[in-house]
Amino acid sequence: MNKLNIGLVGYGFMARAHSNAYLSVNQFFDLKYRPVLKGVAARDAAKVEKFAHKWGYESHYTDWRHLIADPEIDIIDIASPNDTHSEIAVTAAQAGKTILCEKPLARNLKEAQAMVDAVKKAGVRTMVWYNYRRIPAVTLAKKMIESGKLGRIYHYRAKFLQDWTISPDVPQGGTGWRLDVNAAGSGVTGDLLAHCIDTAIWLNGGIDSVSAMTETFVKERKHNLTGKMEKVGIDDASAFLARFHNGSLATFEATRYARGHKALYTLEINGEHGSIAWDLHDLHRLQWFDHKDEGTLRGWRSIHVTDGDHPYMANWWVPGLAIGYEHSFIHAIADFLNSIDGKEPAQPTFEEAMKTEHVVDAVLRSAAAGRWERVG
Amino acid sequence: MNKLNIGLVGYGFMARAHSNAYLSVNQFFDLKYRPVLKGVAARDAAKVEKFAHKWGYESHYTDWRHLIADPEIDIIDIASPNDTHSEIAVTAAQAGKTILCEKPLARNLKEAQAMVDAVKKAGVRTMVWYNYRRIPAVTLAKKMIESGKLGRIYHYRAKFLQDWTISPDVPQGGTGWRLDVNAAGSGVTGDLLAHCIDTAIWLNGGIDSVSAMTETFVKERKHNLTGKMEKVGIDDASAFLARFHNGSLATFEATRYARGHKALYTLEINGEHGSIAWDLHDLHRLQWFDHKDEGTLRGWRSIHVTDGDHPYMANWWVPGLAIGYEHSFIHAIADFLNSIDGKEPAQPTFEEAMKTEHVVDAVLRSAAAGRWERVG
Amino acid sequence: MNKLNIGLVGYGFMARAHSNAYLSVNQFFDLKYRPVLKGVAARDAAKVEKFAHKWGYESHYTDWRHLIADPEIDIIDIASPNDTHSEIAVTAAQAGKTILCEKPLARNLKEAQAMVDAVKKAGVRTMVWYNYRRIPAVTLAKKMIESGKLGRIYHYRAKFLQDWTISPDVPQGGTGWRLDVNAAGSGVTGDLLAHCIDTAIWLNGGIDSVSAMTETFVKERKHNLTGKMEKVGIDDASAFLARFHNGSLATFEATRYARGHKALYTLEINGEHGSIAWDLHDLHRLQWFDHKDEGTLRGWRSIHVTDGDHPYMANWWVPGLAIGYEHSFIHAIADFLNSIDGKEPAQPTFEEAMKTEHVVDAVLRSAAAGRWERVG
Amino acid sequence: MNKLNIGLVGYGFMARAHSNAYLSVNQFFDLKYRPVLKGVAARDAAKVEKFAHKWGYESHYTDWRHLIADPEIDIIDIASPNDTHSEIAVTAAQAGKTILCEKPLARNLKEAQAMVDAVKKAGVRTMVWYNYRRIPAVTLAKKMIESGKLGRIYHYRAKFLQDWTISPDVPQGGTGWRLDVNAAGSGVTGDLLAHCIDTAIWLNGGIDSVSAMTETFVKERKHNLTGKMEKVGIDDASAFLARFHNGSLATFEATRYARGHKALYTLEINGEHGSIAWDLHDLHRLQWFDHKDEGTLRGWRSIHVTDGDHPYMANWWVPGLAIGYEHSFIHAIADFLNSIDGKEPAQPTFEEAMKTEHVVDAVLRSAAAGRWERVG
């Protein structure tokens, strides 16, 4: 089996999810390539050493440039905060590395475009970890739509609801970088809605125009780096109306102020012949209404997506036994490794992920201007 | 429209449900007969007067014999405690009255048999108010089974769970007659399991043999009539294994000690080609799994039984708008009134309801003897 | 008991629901007043006669002016299509009648304002049948909010999803008046969103501004009255973003193109201390998340709103036994009858219902202009 | 970190689950010991080689005696069919190895007792992989019961429903060893009910007596080893009533003939102060009804068991993100490794697991004799 040396940047939540995927993928998928945990880089020396030890990385650094400079590294995997993505990716592209990057691509459209330009110029392979595409139930939804089960689409509806920042005592900055506009670029729009938008574009095509509103409920928070109360620059909540190119109407919403919801990503699509719905709190199920069912026996079916003929599931256990969140990353790397010798890249590439960046940008413009905006 | 004069015995919960059915049925069903609230009889003079006034009964008595003696009364409706059923029914039969009777038929097999003998001899029309047969979702289940949707049946499962007698302060006797063995005959076996058994026999045929256990968790309760603590003679909980004539296996259970369940009657049937499930807490839904659905898209469907082509529902509102518990009584009386000029009696007649009495008897015998018992 | 003579206009779906409420309310609620079904008026002579016979109306007419002219009629109840509301109400007000009116108040703001002006001038009592306020679970939600269970509100979310007009063969006009802009005024905005808005204002206060989009998926439909294909003037789908006076953000959506949903009105409110959610397909349940619950044991509770201490439920059956859709009308008339001798009118009065009309108007203006609009 | 060399017997479903646990546990739990995949033994030479390669076992054999003979092997892990458990375990005990064994302990009481005697005599450490104890929601249930949240227990209810053997074409023997009585010992009783019983004893204490029934719906099946139709010796379905030592009543049921259920293990416990329910199809949720909640706001809570303060969950992702089935094995091995230097063994040991064997034995005796049997 061909080995591919991974150079990971970051040691946070996503760095763990990616590392687990690298370690597990070959036990569950028959692949020609095997990722090797070659090196990891992140700011704090003690923490990166501990992380490397835990996950079995052969080397560790406090500067990601070491990874890029290392000729043995095949793949640079960016799992650090958003403000670092663009520079790392551009540098890695120039060094001819394959690049995997956590979502969102960057803090803003300009940074993202620089990344796309660089990888295009360098001709390197890329993928963005929009992991929800590879939840088996979501992949099944994609297959159903492609096979015409839903017919013409009338409505798309997505939400991503959390409640972890309601307390004004949650700080911003440092480990709380998701609340720091300088590190994150935006709040729930880039963090949560980006997921919803990526899936929506994948399932339902491009978005034409949006009308958005955002809100920052807590105006000041302590900053972990300065130690002072500072203005909060991110959006705590973001909602928008949208029209897709295919004529369907949509509502999107994300917030970290929805009490009782931890990470409730929900989506629903209503088509001429049927509807589907899914949510992350019960990620192993797909809800499906088939209008072609016998009249008096129609109803929403709850499909327990755990059978051998469901997407990805032949690689796991037996019917009825659910897999979890992190498996979506294993599926992503499996698809990526499979794509290396194929014609089609594993999606979304940086270029494909730009579509989501454009919607995010239009949403933030619309909310700021208080008017409908076209997606660029 | 032909009028049918009703003589009701009782003014409790069931007397209200029946009276409401009489008052509502002709507005929602096209029928040749119209029930008229002619008279009501019950023990307490003040209460029966108030009840008669509330519901518009033309006359009221403290002795049910007045109703039977009244030649204008066409139908005697027995909605009084179980210990009164047999005597009233036998007397009414002798007077040639049509008889409607709340379930269970009586306190025990002997009393029930006397009722059946009397009505058979008198040749009068009867019906027992096993109302759950006429919940639209349950009626739909019946139709599905009859049309072969489930194929060979392997399993039947029913429970009726409540929690209202957990406190030892709940008294027995009088208004608490359901806890008084002399008035009720048995506890949850006759009160709750009788419902489960009636539906089961209707949906799945006769029961061959049972192995049961019962328990009385609170051994003594204050008696409303004597004012003293007295031994509790009823069963608080009752469960049994059963084998049906068709070879399927069953578990049945009822209790008033299941915290969190108010009146949770549930049933599930597993057949070769599919399964159905229903419960009273969401009585407007029927769960249906069709193995003939396309493989990867199989799942339990939740049928919202509110469409015009669902049983009884064309008589109500529009799709999506649910009806409630009391409508099952309206459907029962509609079916009964429709059956008057037809060949088939509305079910269950007293004779048909004896099947349930036989199972109840076998369950109580089995629990007492600690062994399997055949249903008589 | 004091009798109140009802003069009903209309014989459709709502006329049935109101009539049933009049016939049932005194059996279930102790009231000083009893509605009497005095007269009914509607266009088709044969149909109105049949309706009168079915429901026991003493007289029937093809012209509603007869009802208003009848001095014995105390209450004019308007259950006819939207285009008739304003004229009937204004005329009834001038005759000094108490007026009950189906929602929405009228086809547009101007007509609605004329109604409010007329009843104000005449000093007559009014109520609009926004029945969902009186679903026990919704009333319970109101009580919880008022008692501070939710704290500061961050988000309000409401949808009303149906699927009955997806086929282009569904006609407009006549019995299909809801699809005829001349009769209805608007499509789902006035028909479905009006319900969502009324409840929202009641639960969460006034709405400040909206950004809306509407769509008509089927552009032409056969007209029942002309027999020809005609342009469809109503909105098939309508969605809007909103900001409430209390600072909370909202999304609203209604459509008749959401396959699998018959009448799925859903609402969810997220507050500082907890969240509530409700939907019409399981109208007897209220979902409640209490952040004050012990940390590891927090979860959404499904409250089965059927106990004696739940709103209105002491008047019905026993815990666990659900009531249905039509009971909300019975509760409405019970509240109305109770309000006659009280200081507080039963809500919403015509004046109160104008708030919803203003939001509906802003939504339609916003959708037409493609920009945020303030609620007038 | 101290290394512990694993010698695994088997390469089937359970061998994969155990191997994955060994490979993952140290990345997610801080432990003093690290399992090393030293060797694997199983019958088919080609298959075991492939398995060893896939999972990274250093060596592989077709005879498990090689593993036991290897002085470097610390732990023998038995993941082969039931008929091999006893001999392997007894031999491993004699060699002084630590032993981990898949459930059930053995085919029957006698074999199981031999295992217990051998490990007791040898004084070796043991654990049986009853993995469902370590589903976080089930562990949380255990904590709740221990802290008195439920009070006195009245009812225990468990089912394990599958549907994969309904077709008479499913063969027995070989890879179909679960249907071969010689390999499996019994059918669903030992395979599925054993899980239910283990959890029940853990949560609710010992079982006193049982009344059981079993059924074999398909009487003959092709045998994979002989190639002929042979009599089926296992039970396809098994149900029993039980009384626990604590006075609570129980129903248990397992079947492979419940259409629509893949691996639906459900349990419910009703206590004086509250009730809990859990099922394997939504394994990340625990249902909890707290009677101490405020009266009108009581309801079943659905606890999404994914928070950092939920059992085991601090080792995984962030709130809202579910883990799956295989994690229960990772938790088991983590607990086992933690127990090595502690006073308390990880449960259930072979000795503790004998309690389940005794119940299984009583169930099979009761079903055969058609009478109540005491648990030995």
The string of pLDDT tens digits covering residues D221-262 is 999 999 999 999 999 999 999 999 999 999 999 999 999 999
Distance CA A277, CA A150 (A): 12
Q: Is residue C207 within 8 Å of C174, Cβ to Cβ?
A: no
Q: Is residue B194 within 8 Å of B362, Cβ to Cβ?
A: no
Cα–Cα–Cα angle for D86, D92, D93, rounded to 5 degrees? 90
Residues of chain B with C-beta less than 8 angstroms from the C-beta of D300 = 260
Return the number of other C-beta atoms located less than 10 Å from residue A191's C-beta. Answer: 23
**Whose structure tokens read 């058994």?**
B197
Determine the length of chain B.
376
Of D241, D243, D270, the CB nearest to B258: D270
Distance CA A94, CA A72 (A): 15
Distance CA D209, CA D186 (A): 20
Position A146 scores a pLDDT of 98
Residues of chain C with C-beta less than 8 angstroms from the C-beta of A370 = 372
Position D342 scores a pLDDT of 85
Q: Is the pLDDT of residue A1 over 80?
A: no
Residue among B14, B35, B17 at smallest CA distance from B25: B35
Say yes or no for a CB contact (<8 Å) between A140 and B290.
no
Q: Which residue of B has its CA nearest to D168?
A: B272
Mean pLDDT of chain B: 97
For A192-225, the pLDDT digits (tens) are 999 999 999 999 999 999 999 999 999 999 999 9
How far, CA to CA in Å, does B201 sit from each of B142, B193, B245, B362?
11, 12, 10, 15
Q: Is the pLDDT of residue A343 over 90?
A: no
Position B359 scores a pLDDT of 98
Whether ipTM tops 0.95, in short, is yes
Q: Is the pLDDT of residue A129 over 80?
A: yes
Rg (CA), chain A: 21
Sequence-separated (6 or more) residues with CB below 8 Å from residue A118: A89, A90, A93, A94
Q: Is residue D231 within 8 Å of D219, Cβ to Cβ?
A: yes
Look at the alpha carbons of D60, D63, D64, D69 in this order and tell me if their dihedral is positive or negative.
negative
Q: Which residue of D has its CA nearest to C319?
A: D296
Residues of chain D with C-beta less than 8 angstroms from the C-beta of C302 = 299-300, 302
Give the pLDDT band (50/70/90) at residue B343: confident
Of A17, A262, A317, the CB nearest to D306: A262
Of C140, C297, C307, the CB nearest to D288: C297
Of D13, D316, D319, the CB nearest to A318: D13
The token pair that represents C42 in the structure block: 């509607």
Q: Is the pLDDT of residue B342 over 90?
A: no
Position D343 scores a pLDDT of 86
DSSP track, B200-254: HHHHH--EEEEEEEEE-SS-EEEBTTT-SEEE--S-SEEEEEEEETTS-EEEEEE
Say yes or no for a CB contact (<8 Å) between C322 and B319.
no
Q: Is the pLDDT of residue B1 over 80?
A: no
Sequence-separated (6 or more) residues with CB below 8 Å from residue B253: B158, B159, B160, B161, B237, B238, B239, B240, D157, D251
Distance CA C281, CA C287 (A): 13
The stretch B270-291 carries a mean pLDDT of: 98
Residues of chain C with C-beta less than 8 angstroms from the C-beta of B26 = 54
Return the number of other C-beta atoms located less than 10 Å from residue D141's C-beta. Answer: 28
The stretch C270-274 carries a mean pLDDT of: 98
Find chains touching chain D: ≥3 CB pairs under 8 Å: A, B, C
Sequence-separated (6 or more) residues with CB below 8 Å from residue C87: none
Position A342 scores a pLDDT of 85
**Whose structure tokens read 């201390």?**
C273
DSSP assignment letter at C109: H
Q: What is the pTM of this model?
A: 0.98
Residues of chain B with C-beta less than 8 angstroms from the C-beta of A286 = 299
Burial class (CB in 10 A: 0-12, 13-18, 19+), A146: exposed
Helix, strand, or coil (residue B160):
strand
Say yes or no for a CB contact (<8 Å) between D13 and A283.
no
Distance CA B335, CA B313 (A): 14
**Whose structure tokens read 């008052």?**
B23
Residues of chain D with C-beta less than 8 angstroms from the C-beta of C140 = 296
Q: How far does D320 lie from chain C, in Å, by closest CA? A: 12
Position D214 scores a pLDDT of 98
Q: Which residue of C has its CA nearest to B21?
A: C24
Say yes or no for a CB contact (<8 Å) between C320 and B281.
yes
Residue among D322, C251, D232 at smallest CA distance from A241: C251
Q: Is residue C303 within 8 Å of C288, Cβ to Cβ?
A: yes
Say what angle helices D136-146 and D194-204 make with each other, to 10 degrees.
Answer: 30
Q: How far does C15 lie from chain B, in Å, by closest CA? A: 11
Distance CA C78, CA C105 (A): 10
Q: Is residue B225 within 8 Å of B204, Cβ to Cβ?
A: no
Distance CA B132, CA B139 (A): 9
Q: Which residue of B has its CA nearest to A295?
A: B309
The stretch B197-206 carries a mean pLDDT of: 98
Position D321 scores a pLDDT of 98
For A50-70, the pLDDT digits (tens) are 999 999 999 999 999 999 999
The token pair that represents C145 in the structure block: 């909010």
Residue among D82, D61, D43, D83 at smallest CA distance from D7: D61
DSSP track, A247-285: S-EEEEEEES--TT-SSEEEEEEEESSEEEEEEGGGTTE
Residues of chain A with C-beta less than 8 angstroms from the C-beta of D20 = 24, 27
Which residues of B have a CB under 8 Å from any CB of D? 154-155, 157, 161, 163, 166, 211-213, 215, 217, 237, 239-241, 243, 249, 251, 253, 255, 257-261, 270-275, 289, 291, 298, 300, 370-372
Distance CA B244, CA B269 (A): 12
**Whose structure tokens read 């626990």?**
D244
Distance CA D314, CA D303 (A): 16
Helix ranges (H only) for chain C are 13-28, 45-55, 65-69, 82-94, 109-122, 136-146, 181-184, 188, 194-204, 327-339, 350-369
SS (H, E, C) chain D: CEEEEEEEECCCHHHHHHHHHHHHHHHHCCCCEEEEEEEEECCCHHHHHHHHHHHCCCEEECCHHHHHHCCCCCEEEECCCHHHHHHHHHHHHHCCCEEEECCCCCCCHHHHHHHHHHHHHHCCCEEECCHHHHCHHHHHHHHHHHCCCCCCEEEEEEEEECCCCCCCCCCEECCEHHHCHHHHCCCHHHHHHHHHHHHHHHHHCCEEEEEEEEECCCCEEEECCCCCEEECCCCCEEEEEEEECCCCEEEEEEECCCCCCCCEEEEEEEECCEEEEEEHHHCCEEEEEECCCCHHHCCEEEEECCCCCCCCHHHCCCCCCCCCCCHHHHHHHHHHHHHCCCCCCCCCCHHHHHHHHHHHHHHHHHHHHCECEECC
Say yes or no for a CB contact (<8 Å) between D296 and C290.
no
For B60-69, the pLDDT digits (tens) are 999 999 999 9
Say yes or no for a CB contact (<8 Å) between A324 and D327.
yes
Mean pLDDT of chain A: 97
The token pair that represents A107 in the structure block: 């803090």
Distance CA D214, CA D207 (A): 19
Terminal CA-CA length for chain B: 43
Residue pairs spanning A and D at CB distance below 8 A: 97
For C61-71, the pLDDT digits (tens) are 999 999 999 99
Q: How far does C105 lie from chain A, in Å, by closest CA? A: 28
Helix, strand, or coil (residue B78):
strand
Distance CA A21, CA A102 (A): 14
Position A371 scores a pLDDT of 98
Continuous segment of H or E residues that includes residue A244? strand A237-244
CA atoms in the 13 A half-sphere facing the CB of D273 = 10
Residue type, A170: V
Mean pLDDT of chain C: 97
Q: Is residue A214 within 8 Å of A235, Cβ to Cβ?
A: yes
Of D154, D239, D241, the CB nearest to B213: D241
By mean pLDDT, which of A171-175, B119-123, B269-273 is the weakest? A171-175
DSSP assignment letter at A312: T
Q: Which residue of C has its CA nearest to A273?
A: C259
How far, CA to CA in Å, does A197 sit from each of A79, A200, A358?
20, 5, 10
Residues of chain C with C-beta less than 8 angstroms from the C-beta of D298 = 301, 303
Q: Which residues of chain D have pLDDT under 70?
A: none
Give the pLDDT band (50/70/90) at residue A103: very high
Beta bridge partners of C101: C78, C128
Strands C153-161 and C249-255, sheet pairing = parallel
Distance CA C376, CA C155 (A): 22
Distance CA A82, CA A89 (A): 11
Q: Is the pLDDT of residue C342 over 90?
A: no
Helix, strand, or coil (residue C267):
strand
How far, CA to CA in Å, does A49 sit from each of C53, D24, D29?
87, 19, 17
Distance CA A249, CA A240 (A): 11
Distance CA A75, CA B287 (A): 49
SS (H, E, C) C142-165: HHHHHCCCCCCEEEEEEEEECCCC
